[in-house]
Amino acid sequence: MLVIKNLHASIDGAPILRGINLEVKAGEVHAIMGPNGSGKSTLASVLAGREEYEVTEGEVLFKGKDLLALAPEERAREGVFLAFQYPVEIPGVSTTNFLRTAVNQVREYRGLNPLDAVKFLSVMKEKMKLVEIDQKLMSRSLNEGFSGGEKKRNEIFQMAMLEPTLSILDETDSGLDIDALRIVSNGVNQLKSSETATIVVTHYQRLLDYIVPDFVHVLFNGRIVKSGTKDLALDLEEKGYDWIKEEVKAASV
């Protein structure tokens, strides 16, 4: 589904990603871990099409298409979803209206009829249950005055509404308490299928107790320096990142 080859990216001329290689197949969950500043969020942003980042080398194929050639909205319509680390508050835009526009935009692209208001509301109700999100939030301005947990739940709710094939969760667990974490993970797990894939970017092993990855990758200095199964995450939890840094250092000498 997703093939990343030798991806290099920089911001304001400073290189952040220095040759990422990764393949994600349908049905898989990949966790990307790593210390602060290793490039985890940059990778998520580059995949979603954030324009501040400049891709200097390499390619990304999504379902065989050149993902990097697409505008952010085209990527979304193709089925890439980024759950933001910091969801943006947008005063004056109602969550419901915004989502209806987004859903119908995506449906149109996929050759489906737009949902009318009634149908949309019933789909919305159904998906709201997944993340136990309150109806009241839906009539408010997008993310405005939402608590941290509500914002993250709203991200997963939007993901449920847009039915992406590749979901990228950018530190969705940061700042969540255990209850919120459970709710968010539940939502993600229920949306998993053999046709979809998930990339979980996280700093903490804790999330992986709930969303169990098939693969764990450690990002360091803009490269994937180690890959393994979920046991790797447990090692990291126990030993921290220093041994990996040591390994990298040793290898480069």
Partner 1 sequence: MTTLTKNKISELILNQAPSFNSFPQLREKGRTITLGNGLPASKDEEYKFTSISKKLEQTLDNFSLSKKTVLDLNLIQSHLFEGFDGDLLVFNNGNYEKSLSSVNQTGIEVSSLNDSMPVSLGTIAKTEKDPFISLNNIYFEDGIFIKVKKNHKIDKPVFFLFFNKANQGQVISPRILIEVEENAEVSFLENTISLDESPYLCNVVTEIKVGQNAHVHYNRHQSENRNSIVVNNFETDIHRDATFTSVVISLSGDMVRNNLTLNLLDSGCEGNMYGLYLLNGKTHVDNHTNVDHTKPHSESNELYKGILADNSRGVFNGKIFVRQDAQKTNAFQQNNNILLSDDATVNTKPQLEIWADDVKCSHGCTTGQLDEEALFYLRARGLSKDQAKGMLLFAFAGEVLEHVSDESFKKYLTDIVQERLGSNF
The H-assigned helical ranges of 131-241 are 135-139, 148-162, 178-191, 230-239
Residue in this structure with the two tokens 């969801």, named with its chain if needed: 87
- Regarding 191 and contact with partner 1 (CB under 8 A), the answer is no
* Residue number, 69 or 71, with CB nearest to partner 1: 71
State the nearest-atom distance from the C-beta of 217 to partner 1, in Å: 23
Write the single-letter amino acid at 125.
Answer: K
Of 25, 28, 74, 29, nearest to 47 (Cα)? Answer: 74
* Residue number, 161 or 233, with CB nearest to partner 1: 161
Return the number of other C-beta atoms located less than 10 Å from residue 234's C-beta.
15
Among 46, 48, 201, 244, binds partner 1 (CB under 8 A): 48
Coil, strand or helix at 103: helix
The number of residues making up the chain comes to 253
* Residue number, 48 or 218, with CB nearest to partner 1: 48
* Residue number, 64 or 92, with CB nearest to partner 1: 92
Q: Which stretch binds partner 1 (CB under 8 A): 66-74, 193-201, 212-220, 225-233?
A: 66-74
DSSP sequence for 17-74 = EEEEEEEE-TT-EEEEE-STTSSHHHHHHHHHT-TTEEEEEEEEEETTEEGGGS-HHH
Site string for partner 1, 127-146 (x = CB under 8 A): --------------x-----
* Residue number, 162 or 244, with CB nearest to partner 1: 162
Q: Report the distance separating Cα 229 and Cα 27, nearest Å.
A: 15
Site string for partner 1, 74-113 (x = CB under 8 A): -xxx---xx-x--xx-xxxx----xx-xxx-xx--x----
* Residue number, 154 or 205, with CB nearest to partner 1: 154
What is the contact surface with partner 1 in residues (CB under 8 A)? Answer: 48-51, 71-73, 75-77, 81-82, 84, 87-88, 90-93, 98-99, 101-103, 105-106, 109, 141, 158, 162
